[in-house]
Structure 1
Amino acid sequence: MHDERTGRTPESALAELRRRLEAGRVRGRLNKTQLAGLAGLSRGTVQAAFKTGGKVPSTFTVAALARVLKLPAAELQELRRDAAGGVSGDGPGRPIQQWAPHALEVHPAGPAPGSSGLVEQRVLPSYVRREHDQLLAEAVREAAQGRSRMVVLVGESSTGKTRACWEAVQPLAEKGWRLWHPFDPTRAEAALEELHEVGPRTVVWLNEAQHYLGDRAVGERVAAAVHALLLEAERAPVLILGTLWPNYFKQYTALPGADGTDPHSRVRELLAERTVSVPEAFNTSELAAASSLARGDALLADALTRAHADGRLCQDLAGAPMLLKRYENGSPTARALLEAAMDARRLGFGLHIPQAFLTDAALDYVHDSDSDQLIDNWAEKAYSELAKKVHGKQAPLPRVPTRQQQRPPGSPAPTSNDAAGIQGPVFRLADYLEQHGRSVRRHRCPPASFWHATVKHINQPDVLGTLARAAERYHRLQWAHHLYHRASQHYSRSAPVQPVRIREEARGLSGAETLMLATNLLVRLALTREKAGDHNAPESRHQQAAKDNSPGALVRLALMRKMAGDHNAPEDLYRRAADFGNDFPQLFPHHPPSRMLHRLWPYGLDPDGTPTGPWSAESEALPQGSRGLLPGP
């Protein structure tokens, strides 16, 4: 390109600029190191200004060199403009509109509908403004009015610091501001190299500021250059935004030690009165605002289902994609442990899953082609892999730390590390992966190793009963039989019942329902044995349950005795079942007591409730409606 006004090309203008600068340096008898010190520039910046084939120096570099070398600044700036093709050159960076948030290290939260899931195609959830956003907005307003400002957000990983900075600079994008994110060849080197060239109306993006200010070699020099940029009126306004973890903030702002060492004196001075804290969790009002925005935002709504209790919304949004990647790209054994944990949670396990169970359950989840992964210490390696955290301090399958439960004085000491009676180490599946498992594995039946590990390692009657019903649904009747049998073995009627009654009464349940819940497993065990063709064991199981006056067990046992030819015992059993009539409003709120009595009583009833006759001895079915009294699946 040829300048018709001056007759110069960009190449010739740049060559003339360098010739004049070199002549001034020689005349002043300065080497480039001395020149850099006098001009307040880095040695690399000065080297680049004189280097043949290098980039065009900035207006600020030219002005600083002209001042020290006593050269006509206006002529040199005209040469610089011609060398740059007529572009004024506001220093490093590019317009804010040209930046994508993920290029500035905003954590991706989820894929856009119909996208491939690549980072470039991920969308950002709706933004919920919090208290620190107000302070950021104030700094942005002052910068837009012509005053240089610096704000560093201090908070733990994945608490929304970088996203807050991105949202804050959007008003400046509309005003034509630039943004510069130094990172090549290293962050600290890039910042030191070009901070002297930053011009007005520029956002300096120091995300993860420890990489700039904490660099052992040049961190203090970077801090000094940033401080100088804030104080130089000819380069105002600039806005410097950074983020920092609390442990680095404490390290950089610590006072000198007793030995007099002070490795971060300039950083400490720079950060003074320029930091804003970002809390780890959303407060009640912020969660309410998030819920309102979530009505039109599937990503935000999904995260709120998991984070509404502890308020760690940003951590969930940042960590969820990485957790899924860990699952999808994990080793075969790590995936097997996660899938066993997913199945355990969706089929009825509590939050804490025993390690012994998981290790045995995972065996059949490993494909035959990956069987070579099952070396001697495969489990140790897999658990270690799944304990590594992603964004937001989340791990796919972390071990739950043992905590001593505080109990009232005189209470019996717990016999294990968990209130539910789990022995040994326990693990907890990440909430996002649990939710993912409930969706993608909802129709899958666990393999044999899962059921075997349950029978072998689980001793909680309620969990065993729940899993037995799941085995029935999947038509694994033999496993269901063993699970019901194991549940009945671990249900002890001699155990203290007062705490159970207190808990049940607190939930508004009647005493009869408490007993019915307790004997539910015995009745189910008997029914399962009947389905399997065993016609001897069921009666003994029903007799055990009938000792606790379970209405369903009493009715079923009466039928079995009558079908066996016993015409005396059934009447007594039906009468005992009918004695529960006073509790029917609580047990069966949708049926009036008289109707339920009629279902149990072996006689017909007049309108006034008087028995009229025996129930047909020839019938081989239960009285009409009585199956509703048997525990349902």
Structure 2
Amino acid sequence: MRGESCSGKTRTAFEAVHACLKDWQLVFPKTARRLLALLDADALAPRTVLWLNEAQNVLNGTDAEEAAAALHSRLEQPGPLVVLGTLWPEYHRILTAAPKPGKDAHPHARALLDHVRPVDVPASFTGAALHSPLVRGDRSLATAVSTSTGGRITQTLAAGPQLVDHYHQATSHSPYGHAVITAAMDARRLGHTSPLPAALLKAAAPGYLTEQQRAAADPGTWFADALAYARERAKGVVAALEPVANPDGMGALPDIYRLSDYLDHHARTVRGDSFPPDSFWTAARDHAAGTADLEALAEAADHRGHHRIAADLYQRAADAGGPGALAELAWRRGRAGDLDGAEQLYQRLIDAGDTGALAELAQVRQRAGDFDGAEPLAQRAADAGDTGPLVELAWRRGEAGDLDGAERLAQRAADAGNANALVRVAQRREEAGDLDGAERLARRAADTGGRDALIRLARARERAGDAEGAKRWRRFQI
């Protein structure tokens, strides 16, 4: 069920289960870790409904990819099993979007959701539904209809507008509560998907206050008072900051909070163009819940042009063991010309078994003109299945006039399954007037699967008006 916050996704899913699967058992894991535990224990028996309410909490963040992969595997086993989830459109886009080259944060979640045909729950009711006798006959629904705009009655029923008003009114009578809530809103909208540590909110809040407000604060009570305000329930239904249930037992996790979904949506509208103060970024660096949150916040800062802040957050994530942050830092140092620093970081990734870092480090050495140093790395990358560095290195050697070295590397790439480099070196030999050498390499490329590259080269010659050259390359395609 896909829809915005408080649109009725959960209620719709509940009614569907109640109507169609009333005698089935239902399991409701609230975190990726709990889902993994269920799957590892093979606890999803036939005729079970696996309820993934707010599925972004399971498919995005720590342990999410492992959980998505495990669930995908379970769906390939005998059933019947129904997996029923609710998801915001924004998270559905994030989790199913085509990845950027070299950066694929959600491959297993995307593979899982690619098989899903979402049922969209509209954010508002139509005019016909609002005038239904069933609505007029229910006092709560009738009141919600009369006080809602645009047919968004479920949001009104969930006390969303009152919660927003509670937040905005805080500027006058609880500025510290307003600062804490705003810090939580900024953290969520900028990528901190894990529950929020109180230490982060406390350290971030001062930057949202004036000097006079900070001076007037009681050092011993201001934060407790701010939390108390943020935890007041609008209409007794929902609070800006909600406690987080202990996943391993009863009660709430101490000093951990989750921002109201409704306020999260509101923040993306009213604060979409706002950049948080320095205190927020320092607090995030020192108190973020995990490396995934640090990396997401770093990317958000980077996209907004605050590269120093981004580098600081990436460094903290790398220090905490985040491989994505380590790779990002290595790439940044290489782009900045700090080849020694980049090489040290890439080597740490390689030592940890990251074969993609082999290709990245090979490119760093290539850009520095160290072809001899790049070659063994490119060969190791090819052995791991990535022939790109060998092809690139062959091209660069040919560009530098070392056609014999280029041919040797191109043959290695062909032996690993990529004959395109042989075609490129053949083209280089032709341009140098060595037609016999070009023919020898072209035949070898055709024999090892490079016919497509030869076809593209022949067509390029035709477009350039070189009929003789096109004819020469086409004869190797047979």
So what's the TM-score if we normalise by structure 1? 0.38
Q: Quick check: which one's helix share is greater? A: 2
So what's the TM-score if we normalise by structure 2? 0.50
Structure with the greater alpha carbon radius of gyration: 1
